[in-house]
Amino acid sequence: MLGVWSALKAGAAYVPLDPRLDDTRLAAILADAGADALLCDAALADRAAALAPALPVVPLPTSYDAVDRTGREVTAPTADAMAYVLYTSGTTGTPKGVVQTHGNVLRHALTYAARLRLGPGERVPLLARYSFDAGVMDLFGALLTGACLEVVDPSAHSPASLRAALADAGATVVHCTPTVFRHLTSAGHGDGALDTVRAVVLGGEEATGADAAAFRAAFPAHSRLVNGLGPTECTLALQHLVEPADALRAALPVGRPVEGVEVLLTDTTGRPTEVFGELVLRGARVARGYWRDPERTAAAFTTDADGTPSYRTGDLARRLPDGNLVFCGRRDQRVKIRGQWADPAEVEKLLRVHPTVGQAAVVVDRHPLHGTRLLGYVTSPTFLPPDENELLGYLGRQLPDHAVPARVVVLDSLPVGLTGKLDRSRLPAPAEPAPGQETPRTATEEAVSRIWCEVIGLASVGLREHFVGTGGDSMHLMEMLGRIGDELGADVMPGDFLASPTVETLARLVDDDLAAS
């Protein structure tokens, strides 16, 4: 947060960088942004210097007393000046930076604050990373209205400890993705930890009627649930105050447009429709386009005849009889997984170029226990079948974790229809992974296997089964490593584990850390 406010105070635009991303992706963002300097925590200064050797690296002070307050005169930015370039989540390819102005950041933040009645005395946990637009709303919406903002990293908490962290913060408004919400509400009902919460705001991915039912069971009677939709290109676009009857719906409505945003539904030719179509957002609050990318900007952003900017979201929506809108998927194949976009077609391309793969297909699977995920299907170009764990590890080294398929199924051939094209509807559901033949050989392997199974919800796990293949994701990873620290006393770095994410590797890392300490 200090880096964000420092950049804006100095009259510069900021480009948020998430240190959890690999260096290749961070370097690509830095190169595309054309940054002039790199601000970072002091502990990350060496990594920052290696990422951008030609840029000055400015370590941020750790206390107010260490700040140089001599300052210099800075011309105040205009409302149309660039405030940030925020790179949207994706799978592969060139990063895409969304340009937003000071005026629009202020309008979105104040609208968000006004609709939720944020102000002095309110306590808002910042659960989203500042590199996501959800973090923009909480960061500026809280601090510009006098509310207290407390940074809480949900990936570092189990469900119980996350509830405890929100209780310690005295949270009154909780804003998160449905994935984090489900993590939060998966245990501990009736413990009073969330009694201070008067509003929960969901966004970033599709919310369901089951989420509404879980909300009612986990939060106090006076609390209200709000669902919404707002792409990075127009941070706050639609909101819906969830009613009890919504718990019976398959998907919660995303609502009606907020102040300053107009919503249209259009058909495939771009003509307005009434009931179903692509969601188009109109108004001055739409972003200015994609940084240094005129081709993609022209494809998504237009200026209408009356001079009003508009943005084609690529989202499909249906209008209900009461006027509320319901999200109905994407015009393209992209899907949101744990609040971030993943493109099955891009994952397919990576699988096809692997030397052990002949044909490949990647589909979206909505699992009743594991939520939305990707599944991969491959054939072999030779008589030797590809190895699922090898392919998952290969994808894990090139993709963000949300875009790695939960399983890669090896088939003799991919099913085709009468036209000779791939028939994705006939791809078989993957069998639940059988436990590995090798059982734990040491006390550490036994303990790691137990914690692994308890966190993900498995009966058993093989020593060499891949973490993603057993249903693991980033939330499971942080909970599992947290429990290993608490119960076994070992401090295992996520990157070390993800290099070869198996029970066998994790047990070795635990033993190595304990021996070193």
Q: What is the mean pLDDT of residues 433-461?
A: 83
Greater pLDDT, 354 or 93: 354
Query: Could you tell me how many helices (H) and strands (E) the chain has, helices first?
Result: 15, 23
Q: What is the CATH topology of the domain spanning 343-426?
A: GMP Synthetase; Chain A, domain 3 (3.30.300)
Return d(Cα 196, Cα 368) in angstroms, integer. 31
pLDDT tens digits along 320-368: 999 999 998 878 777 888 777 888 888 988 898 899 998 899 999 887 7
pLDDT tens digits along 295-324: 999 999 999 999 999 999 999 999 999 999
Alpha helices in 80-148 (DSSP H): 102-116, 133-143
Question: Burial, 436: exposed, middle or buried (Cβ in 10 Å; 0-12, 13-18, 19+)?
Answer: middle
Q: What stretch of H or E contains 310?
A: strand 309-319
Q: Please, what is the average pLDDT of the chain?
A: 89
Q: Is the Cβ–Cβ distance between 471 and 457 less than 8 Å?
A: yes
The pLDDT score that the predictor gives to residue 256 is 97
pLDDT tens digits along 40-69: 999 999 999 999 999 999 999 877 665 666
Q: What is the CATH topology of the domain spanning 77-330?
A: Rossmann fold (3.40.50)
210-248 CB burial, b ≥16 within 10 A, e <16: ebbebbeebbeeebebbbbbbbbbbbbbbbbbbeeebbe
Q: What stretch of H or E contains 348?
A: helix 344-352
Give the residue from 335, 399, 426, 400 showing the smallest Cα distance to 373: 335
pLDDT above 70 covers a percentage of the chain that reads: 94
Return d(Cα 156, Cα 134) in angstroms, integer. 19
Return d(Cα 393, Cα 411) in angstroms, integer. 19
* pLDDT of 92 higher than 60: no
* pLDDT of 428 higher than 50: yes
Work out the number of other CB atoms within 10 angstroms of the CB of residue 412.
Answer: 7
Cα-Cα-Cα-Cα dihedral sign, residues 186, 187, 192, 194: negative
The pLDDT score that the predictor gives to residue 353 is 87
Q: Do domains 343-426 and 443-516 have the same CATH topology?
A: no
Domain boundaries, given as residue ranges, for the chain: 77-330, 343-426, 443-516
Q: What is the mean pLDDT of residues 512-516?
A: 91
Q: Residue 313 — φ and ψ, nearest 5°?
A: -80, -25
Q: Is the Cβ–Cβ distance between 105 and 86 less than 8 Å?
A: no
* pLDDT of 447 higher than 90: yes
Query: What is the distance of C-alpha 505 from the center of its chain?
Result: 27
Question: Burial, 88: exposed, middle or buried (Cβ in 10 Å; 0-12, 13-18, 19+)?
Answer: middle
Distance of CA 126 to CAs 98, 175, 198, 254, 403, Å?
21, 8, 16, 22, 24
The pLDDT score that the predictor gives to residue 299 is 93
Cα-Cα-Cα-Cα dihedral sign, residues 36, 42, 48, 53: positive
Confidence of residue 91 (pLDDT cuts 50, 70, 90): very low
Q: What is the CATH topology of the domain spanning 443-516?
A: 1.10.1200
Greater pLDDT, 191 or 385: 385
* DSSP conformation class of 254: -
Return d(Cα 287, Cα 272) in angstroms, integer. 22
Lookup: tokens for 35? 């940054």
- The whole model's pTM is what? 0.76
Greater pLDDT, 384 or 215: 215
94 SS3 class: coil
